[in-house]
Amino acid sequence: MKNINYINKFRSDKVLTSKSIFICSFLLFLLFSSCTKELDLVSEDNITDATFWKTGKDFKLAANNLYNGLDRFGFEDTESDIAFNFPNSVSNGSYQLSETNSQWTTSYNYIRDINIILAKGEGSTDSDVKRFVAEAKFFRAWYYWKLFRIFGGVPLITKALDATDPDLYAPRATRQETVDFILKDLDEAVVDLPFKSELNASDVGRITKGTVLSFEARVSLFEGTWEKFRNMADAVKYLDKAIQTSSTVINSGEYGLYIDKGSNSYRYLFLQNGDDSNETILDRRYQRNVIGHSTPYDYDGNGYNPTRTLADLYLDKNGVPITNNMSVFQGYDTFDSEYIDRDPRMTMTMIVPGKETVRVFFPETPVVNWPDFPQRNPNTGYILYKYMSEDPELNNSGQEGDASLFDYDRHLIRYAEVLLIYAEATFEKNDVISDNDLDKSINVIRDRVNMPHLTNSFVTSNGLDMRTEIRRERTVELALEGFRYDDLRRWKTAENILPQDIKGIKIKGTEWENREPYSLPSFQSRADVDGFLISETNRIFDPNKHYLQPLPTKEIALYAENGATLEQNPGW
């Protein structure tokens, strides 16, 4: 712990020398190198600017630290309407101004480290140096994106600063300046990076051309749709960028969907089987007994529970919504009726009540699953299956200490997302999409789970809406992977959706009415007029302020103390 405390002390300083920054990065790499599994480590006794920054290996070692900030497993979709554990201040609109924001602090700390790497590598003609400078540019875009997605335009710091540099208090860039800066870094990064197929074994997991292009597609779709639904000027420019970059990834032949487990491939993609598969574009990587995660324990205990909204989004087996008069939906009367004849991804994301599975703390003998056992949070009545390991060694370990055995990676960018980006951007550009474009995108995803194809004639003959179906496909394919909050905001539908009650299973007029805990008055009193459990009510979303989060007030005050202005977001 001494090393960690030493690093935290370093990071609390406003300005660091390049030597100190690298020592900090080097120590972090020693502690957490397993997030990228196999990265070369070069031992140095006396690291100084005079002896370092000489070779590609030096720059590689410096770049390794940047991977440590990649997203770990979490509860991101509880910020939306498709997952719930406890009331979430973001999704229910109760969050307030705060002095600090961890995303702001963490992102700018990494940006500072990155700017030093870029300065040291500037003008180099060494191909290895250029490669790791390109990685650093990707990560600068990544960390600015983490700021941009929730704050909008932010101060753009593009160089390593000393304590007297006036750019320490640079004003906020505009929204367009910020997103264009992100895309410019990505355009420059892609030139000097290898294809995934060119990586050697020790570099698997590092940033590639495909990573950069896929991330460009994500950022461009976000901004293109944000601008389209607010009647802003450059929507088509960004949608074109999303189409172009996603097309390049699709046409590269470098990636494909994980299908090694046949009709169950969607489920096993998110366990150890899917690590480093053809679908992987960027992962947060883990390694057993080195650095792991406690995700199944966390999700069983605190809960990452699907909601009524998510459950009802899954189509029936014939590809129509359950509200359609042609649907074969079986209703809610029994414990398992709503799961019958549905999109297979539903039962690979949620466990059918009463089904036996291998479960955390029950490694050898399958246990019957109910919302309150072995899952310990029954607040929606739905039981999470996605991410739940079937590895006996993992499931037999205690939450304390041995949780590091859970080592399957978190997929941050996967090929299915690229296909969804291509479909949505193509449709949103002209409000139409051809069957050929659907066949190269959404229908590839549907083929994995043997669902009927989405076509223009199918939409017309069943009285559907193409935009709704494209969005539905995105939501169910990427469910509980942390996309929904951003999607609702960029579509400008958050003001209509997030104030709605969070609901769960139907507990009145069904088998649930006679089974604890839902038979108890405390649950029965929370049923709506149709008998559905209300998990949370009185939610708000103010469209004048909640589409962007507030900047930390401590940063605004620091600017003011130094004669500068950091503008707060509207409504805050």
Q: How many CB atoms lie within 10 A of CB 226?
A: 22
Domain boundaries defined on the chain: 194-285+409-496, 295-406
Q: Which stretches of 381-494 are assigned E, i.e. beta strand?
A: 410-414
Listed residue (311, 333, 336, 307) closest to 322, CA to CA: 311
Residues 6+ apart with CB under 8 A from 187: 216
CA atoms within 13 A on the CB side of 456: 8
CA atoms of 280 and 414, how far apart (whole Å): 5
**3-state helix/strand/coil string of 156-172:** CCCCCCCCCCHHHHCCC
User: What per-residue string of b and e applies to 53-85 under the rule 16 or more CB within 10 Å gives b?
Assistant: beebebbbbbbbbbbbbbeebebbbbbbbbbbb
- Identify the bridge partners of residue 283 per DSSP, sorted by sequence position: 411
- The pLDDT, as a whole number, for residue 16 is 31
Euclidean distance between CA atoms 560 and 188, whole angstroms: 35
- The pLDDT of residue 36: 42
Query: For residues 324 and 322, what is the distance between their CA atoms, to the nearest angstrom?
Result: 5
Q: Which two tokens stand for residue 436?
A: 């050929």
Give the pLDDT of residue 395: 74
Q: How many Cα atoms within 13 Å fall on the side-chain side of residue 560?
A: 7
Give residue 404's pLDDT.
64
Orientation of helix 56-64 relative to helix 102-121, angle to 10°: 180
- The three-class DSSP label of residue 512 is helix
Three-state helix/strand/coil letters over 213-246 = HHHHHHHHHHHHHHHHCCCCCCHHHHHHHHHHHH
The SS3 call for residue 21 is helix
Query: Could you give the CA distance from residue 32 to residue 53 in angstroms, rounded to a whole number?
Result: 22
Q: State which CATH number among 1.10.10.10, 1.25.40.390, 2.40.340.10, 3.30.450.40 fits the domain covering 194-285+409-496.
A: 1.25.40.390
The pLDDT of residue 361 is 79
**Peptide linkage before 392 cis (omega within 30 of 0):** no
In DSSP notation, 85-124 reads SS--TTTTT-----S--HHHHHHHHHHHHHHHHHHHHTT-
Point out which residues pair with 367 in neighbouring strands.
Answer: 357
The residues of the chain scoring below 70 in pLDDT are 1-48, 397-404
**What's the confidence (pLDDT) of residue 427?**
98
Per-residue CA distances from 558 to 18, 162, 164, 392 (Å): 24, 16, 14, 52
**Locus of tokens 């997991």:** 205
Chain segment 556-565, per-residue pLDDT in tens: 999 999 999 9
CA–CA gap between residue 5 and residue 279 (Å, rounded): 37
Which single residue is written with the structure tokens 């990560």?
139
CB 360 within 8 A of CB 297: yes
Most distant pair of Cα atoms in the chain: their distance: 76
Q: The tokens of 283 are what?
A: 């992962």
The whole-number pLDDT of residue 399 equals 55
Strand partners, 527: 533
Sequence-distant (6+) residues with CB within 8 A of 66 are 110, 113, 114, 135, 136, 139
Backbone angles phi, psi at 392, to 5 degrees: -60, -35
Work out whether strand 305-306 and strand 83-84 pair parallel, antiparallel, or are unpaired: antiparallel
| DSSP string across 265-286 | HHHHHTSGGGTT-TTEEEEE--
166: β partners: none
DSSP-based three-state secondary structure for 411: strand
Note the pLDDT of residue 19. 36
- Which one-letter DSSP state was computed for residue 392? H
Whole-angstrom distance, CA of residue 204 vs CA of residue 217: 22
Whether the link from the prior residue into 550 is cis, omega within 30° of 0, is no
Which H helix or E strand runs over 344? none
